[in-house]
Amino acid sequence: MTEFKNKVAIVTGSGSGIGRACAVLFAKKGAKVVISDVDEKGGKESVDLIKKDGGEATFIKADVSKPEDCEALVKKTVEAYGRLDVGVNNAGIGGEANLTGDYSLDGWHKVININLNGVFYSMKYEITEMLKHGGGSIVNIASILGQVGFATASAYVAAKHGVVGLSQNAALEYSAQGIRVNSVGPGFIRTPLLKDMEEDKDTMDMLISLHPIGRLGQAEEVAELVVWLASDKASFVTGAYYPVDGGYLAR
């Protein structure tokens, strides 16, 4: 498949989970993919998966909570492939579970720095590069919790609401210059972020019950939406928020 032939995509947090699924699908559709993560082992595994399937990928380690890492990631991508067409800003953490009044300051700052500041830093440098080549597409991974609350997850909810607003704002500013910006809101997806919860059957049953479809999502299901939004098939879509949530938000 050559839908993304000669196009270059960065996917942050692509050492596992949704990010890896997105990276693999972009590669299958012809893109040159830059895998980025703080997890070097997972990142290189993602590269190996893509190369074994005949795709092209490289790993660049970056901590999105550091603006200098985000700047270097874009710079190294251009050095390797000559351009940047797609940015998928997916890197994120769940953070601690605590009531708002009991939430630790360190825990709050860590989640905000990675889940919100990291998206802003990534977009800042992606946009600057995309403007040099006439445009591109940015897809930010928010969450269903970018629309509603979830007790004991104040930092995560605040960050993901921020990602949705930031995406809308950037779309207003840059769509006329050829850069489309959208956000995606996954429901609860079976990824390493749920690893601790999966050990508690009651908790997992509760989470499943929140999704009218009757199950949790798969990373590949999110990737299909992300790749469509990044493609020319979504050429008139910008400033939008798309849930992929098994009906969670329809309750």
Output DSSP code: residue 232: G
Amino acid in the structure at residue 172: L
Angle at 122 between CA 192 and CA 83, to 5 degrees: 110
Structure tokens of 210? 């929140």
8 Å CB contact between 215 and 246? yes
Tell me which residues are annotated as active site: 156
| Interatomic CA distance for residues 35 and 43, integer angstroms | 6
Amino acid in the structure at residue 116: L
8 Å CB contact between 47 and 35? yes
> Hey, CA dihedral for 147, 150, 115, 202, is it positive or negative?
negative
> Which of 203, 207, 187, 178 lies closest to 250 in space, CA to CA?
187
> Which of 126, 55, 88 lies closest to 226 in space, CA to CA?
88
